[in-house]
Structures are given as structure tokens and as C-alpha cells.
Structure 1
Amino acid sequence: MKVLFLILLSISTLFSSFEDGREVFVQKCATCHKEYISLNLIKENFFEKNNSLLNLKAPSANMIVWAMMDSSKKIGDPNEPDFQQIQIEKFLKDYLENPDRFNSICDENVLGYYDNKDSMKGKLSEDDYTNLSYYFLEYKDNFKEEITQKKPFLSPEDEEKYLKIANKENKKIIVYATSKTCFFCKRMDKEVFPKGEVKTLLDKNYIFIEVDMDNVSLPFNLQKEYKKITPSFFFVDKNATFSKQYVGSWTLEDFTKILQENK
């Protein structure tokens, strides 16, 4: 039975593709949803301008893809793309035909800016849902932002200097990915890093390296781990071995625990 299912799934895949899904998106979704908005512009719009910059009434396609693939509400397992496609298709059909804010995968911090969504029941066919699922699943591979190659934050020589200090002082390294437009970064800069036990733990156990992601790439081969979310915190040992990544903003209490667990 499982073999038959996989055969049928493979046949379905032959007739579904990113381009088929993109056509559905353009024809039936693009009146409300933009296809792409840069992450920095999104952050500035919501966290600094209260949506006055873009006046978005619905998430862009790349925001939906991030929610599906990388957020805490992500759908399915990326290591099993065939089954992930089925789960995405089911979610799309269920949500678009019975929209419910409490069942949304959107970031709760921006959900309040969006209009209530009308049901799409009868407006999308079964093939449309299948093709849309492939569009979102394959979005990252087919719709790539034009990226200017950024210079590395540290040269190999500078990286070696930091590692020598880490070995000499028996400390780990924290690489802090931030940006000038990151509201939550600014809040942590003010309310977390200089306070109480966090400051003590940082000074005693860590070398803290702040990297502005608007201008440069991460050191210690961490760029491949970066999920394009600020703030992000990367823990590296004194041998330049990456151990953990913590994505997002943290309270004073939670960040203290993170530092204690990794020292």
C-alpha cells in the first residue's frame, strides 16, 4: 500500500511544479499578497513604523514561506519533502476555506495588522491547492533575492586572534547577529545585555562579537547556519566549533539561563 502511495505521489509531482503554483499565486492570490518584500523592509515596517511604511493587509509570499519552513509553527519536516508537501497542501486547503486567526501560522506580532480573510471555498480547485503547495515548498530554490556578496566581518587572521584569546582565557565565543533596523535587538541591547547576571556571565565566560548583518557576513563559517533572522546568537567554542544557535529576542531571565547552560 505504501509503495502504491509513493508511486501515485511521484506521478502527482510530475504534473505539479513551482511555476504551476506561481501561476495560481499570481492569478488568485497576488491581489492581496505581494510575492516578495525584503526582510529588512518588513522588520522596519512592523517594528519601527507600525505598518505605516508598507500598509500591509496580508503577508507576502516570502513571509508565508518563512512561517511554513522556519518559524516555531513550521509545517512538516524538511527532511521528508514529499510528506511535507502533503501537510502544506492540507493546511492551505483547511485555512483558506475556513480562515481562522487562531489557526494562523503568521507571526502574532504582526497578525493584528492584517484584514480578516474571506473564505476561498469554491475559488481554488484541488489542483490549485496542490500547485500552491509546491510553490511555497520550492520558493526558496526558485525565487531568490538578488544578494550583493557581503565581505566577511572578520578576516581569517582576525578569527585566529579571537580563537587565541578564547583559548588563553578559557572562554566560549558568542556571535550576535543584529541589524540597525532590528527593534528586538535594540530592546535586548538596552534591557538585557547590560543587566545583572547577564553582564557578569558575559564578562566571565564569553567573548561577545556583534555583527551587523546589513553590511557583512558572519565569521567562523556561521553564515550557512544563519536563518536571516535578527537577533540570532551563535555559540562557538575555543576551537571554532559551532554548537548552538538561539533565534529571536529573549527576556533577561531566559537569556541568563541560556548563558548558564552554555558556559
Structure 2
Amino acid sequence: MSRAVLLSIFLFFTTINLNADFHEGKKLFIEKCSSCHKEYISFKKLKENFFERNNTLLNLTIPTENMLAWAIMESSKKIGDPNDNEMRKIEIEDYLKTYLANPDLNDSICDSHVLKYYKKKEPMEISDEESELLAQYFMGYKDDRLKNNPKPVKILSKDYNEKEILEKAKKEGKEIIVFATSQTCYFCKKMKKEVLSLTEVEEAINEDFIFLEVDIDFVNLPFGLKKYFKGMTPTFFFLTTDGQLLHTYPGAWVKDDFLQILKENL
């Protein structure tokens, strides 16, 4: 048997084991942690809660599951080297065991601004196997969420329901983007292929916005946007969760400029 075949078999079973460990870690988190740590809440809504409303919107006393995953994997206090997964997993395991055994907010990796809202956690003992499974869960959390959530783009049909869209926006705490396009628009197709389909852009949209694509040749623009539309495609309309127009951006954009537009509308 060739080395290439052996390598393929090794990678195949390694992937299976990693996936199994992640799902076992997820199961463990649900059984031991989900009674305290709430499920996913968008970071836009979390920012509003902590930085604008002094935690009066959500009244969180413990971080949500996505806040934990972000703190461990992506925050300024993240654990381990992102370029060394094996060592990073060991460091995350060690941190989880040590912190849970003796919880101390002064040793927390959570954002310092939100710590004042959290209550002291009771000590909790976990085994080496449990710490390993939880580490696998947090390390795979973001990829799993992206994989199991639909693409952020919703193409509106003629029978769309504005009320349902607004209810979804309010429930998820997300603003709305309306993308005015047409089948004959060259720059719309170019931007969809070269910008909107990029993982980084999809993640940014999916995190904080509901994205609606409207072919103006066949479907009317929602939320009374027709009176603001100057006939140029593409045009991007940014609206509040109540459907009120915030900003209009006519024309096509490169990745960095479009990401900046998204940030400006948070």
C-alpha cells in the first residue's frame, strides 16, 4: 500500500475522531453547562445589552455559549497559539480544569467591561476526559455554527411578508440589508462572485444582519424603498430592525470597502 493511500486513511480516521470528540464535547456542554450558560445570542445584541443598556436588555449574569467560545478562541485574552492546535488544546484543557475548580473573576478571560455584571461561579470539578471534550467543543464551535446555519442571503419572491421579516429581525436583534439587483447587472454578478460569496463577508453579514436580495425586474422593493431607489444596480439599503432606512450605498464595492460599510452600520 502506497504512502499516499496510508496518509489518506490516517487523515480520514483523524477527521472522524475529531468530529466525534466535538459532538461528545457538545453533548457534555449541554448536559453540564447549558442550564447556566444561555445559547447563542448575536454579538450585535450583546453589545447593545452591555455597552448601551447596562445589561438591562438581557440581564445576563453568566456569559452565553458563543461568548465563552469567542473569549477562549478569538478575544485579546484568547488561550494558546492559533497556529499550534495541539498545544492550544492542551492549554485550553488546563485552563478549564483550573478555572472551574477555583473560579475567580480576576482570572477570567471574559471582557473586563462585562465582568461587573457576572455573579461568582460555584467550583466545579471536571475530569481530564471532560476537559479534553470541552476543549474540542470550543475549538470547533465557530466552524460548526457556520456549517449548520444557512447562507445569509435570502432571495425575496413576489409573495414576501414584510411583517415576518421584521419579526425575525427584532427576535435576532439584527439590522436589515436590502440588495437591489437585476439579472442583467454585470457588476451585481461580479460583486456576488468576488465579494458577497467570501467566507469573511458571509460571516460578517450572518453575525449582525438579515440580507435580502431583490431582483427589481420581477419583485418590488420592500419597506417603501422604491421612493429612495435611483435606478442603479447594485444598490444596498441598510435598515433598522423596524424597517426604517438608515443609509443607502449605490454601486459595487471591493471586499475591504464593503466590510467597512458593514462596520459603519453596526
SS in 2 for 1:74: coil
Alpha-carbon offset, residue 19 of structure 1: 0.7
The aligned residue for residue 222 of structure 1 is 256
- Quote the residue 2:113 is aligned against: 109
Q: Distance in 1 between matches of 2:79 and 2:133?
A: 17
1:97 is aligned to: 101
Identity of aligned residues (%): 40
Contact 1:32–1:57 (CA under 8 A) maintained in structure 2: no
C-alpha spacing 1:72/1:157, structure 2 compared with 1 (3 Å):
same
Which one-letter code corresponds to 1:129 in the other structure?
S
Q: 1:146 to 1:41 in 2, by over 3 A?
A: farther
What CA distance in whole angstroms lies between the structure 2 residues aligned with 1:132 and 1:138? 10
The equivalent residue for 1:138 is: 140
Unaligned runs of 5+ in 1: 1-6, 159-176, 182-210, 233-263
Length-normalised TM-score, structure 2:
0.53
Superposition RMSD in Å: 4.2
Q: Deviation string for 1:76-100 (max 9, x for gaps)?
A: 1222212111111111111111111
In 1, distance between residues paired with 2:53 and 2:186?
39
- Deviation of the 1:35 alpha carbon: 2.6
**1:15-54 mapped onto 2 (5 Å cutoff):** 17-54=21-58
Separation in structure 2 between the aligned mates of residue 224 and residue 74 of structure 1, nearest angstrom: 27
Q: Residue 221 of structure 1 aligns to which amino acid in structure 2?
A: K
1:74 partner letter? K
One-letter amino acid of the counterpart of residue 62, structure 1 = N
Residue equivalent to 1:128: 130
Instruction: Give, in angstroms, the shift of residue 212 of structure 1.
Output: 6.8
Aligned to 2:132, the other structure's residue is in SS state: helix
Between the two proteins, the alignment pairs up a number of residues equal to 172
What does residue range 1-16 of structure 1 map to in structure 2 within 5 Å?
A: 14=17
State the shift of 1:137 in Å.
Answer: 0.2
Cα separation, 1, equivalents of 2:111 and 2:40: 17
